[in-house]
Amino acid sequence: MVERPMPSPRSNEVLLEVLACGVCRTDLHIVDGDIEGTLPIVPGHEVVGRVVSKGEHVTRFELGDRVGVPWLGSSCGRCTYCHKRQENLCDEPVFTGFTVNGGYASHCLADAAFCFSIPASIDDVHAAPLLCAGLIGYRAFSMCGDALRIGLYGFGASAHIIAQLATGLGCTIAAFTRPGDDTGQAFAREMGCAWAGGSDMLSPFELDAAIIFAPAGELVPQALAAVRKGGTVVCAGIHMSDIPTFPYELLWGERQIRSVANLTRADGESFFTAIGTIQVHTRVETFPLHQANEALERLRAGTITGAAVLVP
């Protein structure tokens, strides 16, 4: 823990008193050096905060408003992708808790144009995981198209949110955990999954699509083997270990592999609208801010059921 001067918002920013900040696997990749950005850095990109100060050009929010800050902190607004409303692919992005300081703190700054309003019906702690686990999971889910039978590989923060949303929309979900993880498989069934088993198994029904949340490249061939012809495998993490070679036969039949890169603001608006009609309850375990490293270690060990959330 360190003391830092209180930052002042620029004309387009809000200064937030952090109310809760989710602990994401991407934070672990940053801490472990799997992805390299600005150092030193304050991690945290699932931030729920209250506006305590704002820049002169901010009109979206007022003092006292509760807002959420996601991974994509801002984009350049000039590149081809930004002009096409694909700011998730921006050539010069800013990432919360990676290239600018994030929410493992009592206060943080955020670009108001990239913040989201948080529904009043969701409290701070349960809202925090929605800002990345929910949003990225939702974008990955949207890439499954009209799939009705979906496999989720790695049943953590993202998967337990999307499983609830997908089943609410009529999908049948198979959950794949680490082999032998009986607790994780029971949790998946509790969240509405029709089947749960180890990642070394096949579900009892063929999949239309699969989403890989675990950062394990070896799951890609396994997921391809589980989806039908014309099916899609979506890699939802920002980092993944190398994908091993696999026979072309697994890809043949017009199967496809896709990756998810961040999110657009339209994704966020659509997601929060969706969970306004289909109830999604995040399962959280809270930690005081000074136990951030303990929360990260628990995440690394796979002993968090649902999502970890820091509370200043």
Report residue 206: phi and psi, to 5°: -70, 145
According to DSSP, the residues that pair with 100 across neighbouring strands are 96
Residue 305 has pLDDT above 90, yes or no: yes
pLDDT at 45: 98
- Inter-residue contact 226 to 201 (CB < 8 Å): no
**How far is it, in rounded angstroms, from Cα 230 to Cα 251?**
9
Nearest to 219 by CA among 266, 288, 151, 138: 151
pLDDT at 298: 96
Residue 165 has pLDDT above 90, yes or no: yes
Put simply, whether the predicted model's pTM sits higher than 0.85 gets the answer yes
Nearest to 95 by CA among 128, 73, 69, 70: 73
User: Could you report the per-residue pLDDT of 19-59, keeping only the tens digit for each?
Assistant: 999 999 999 999 999 999 999 999 999 999 999 999 999 99
User: Could you report the per-residue pLDDT of 207-231, keeping only the tens digit for each?
Assistant: 999 999 999 999 999 999 999 999 9
The stretch 135-160 carries a mean pLDDT of: 97
pLDDT band at 279 (very low <50, low <70, confident <90, very high): confident
pLDDT band at 284 (very low <50, low <70, confident <90, very high): very high
- Inter-residue contact 170 to 150 (CB < 8 Å): no
- Asked whether the bond before 40 is cis by omega within 30 degrees of 0, the reply is yes
* % of the chain with per-residue pLDDT over 90: 97
The stretch 243-268 carries a mean pLDDT of: 96
User: Could you report the per-residue pLDDT of 287-299, keeping only the tens digit for each?
Assistant: 999 999 999 999 9
User: Could you report the per-residue pLDDT of 181-200, keeping only the tens digit for each?
Assistant: 999 999 999 999 999 999 99
Which residues have CB under 8 Å from 88's CB, separation 6+? 72, 81, 139, 261, 262, 263, 264, 267
| 3-state secondary structure labels for all residues of the chain | CCCCCCCCCCCCEEEEEEEEEEECHHHHHHHHCCCCCCCCCCCCCCEEEEEEEECCCCCCCCCCCEEEECCEEECCCCCHHHHCCCHHHCCCCEEECCCECCCCCCEEEEEHHHCEECCCCCCHHHHHHHHCHHHHHHHHHHCCCCCCEEEEECCCHHHHHHHHHHHHCCCEEEEEECCCCHHHHHHHHHCCCCEEEECCCCCCCCEEEEEECCCCCCHHHHHHHHEEEEEEEEECCCCCCCCCCCCHHHHCCCCEEEECCCCCHHHHHHHHHHHHHCCCCCCEEEEEHHHHHHHHHHHHHCCCCCEEEEEC
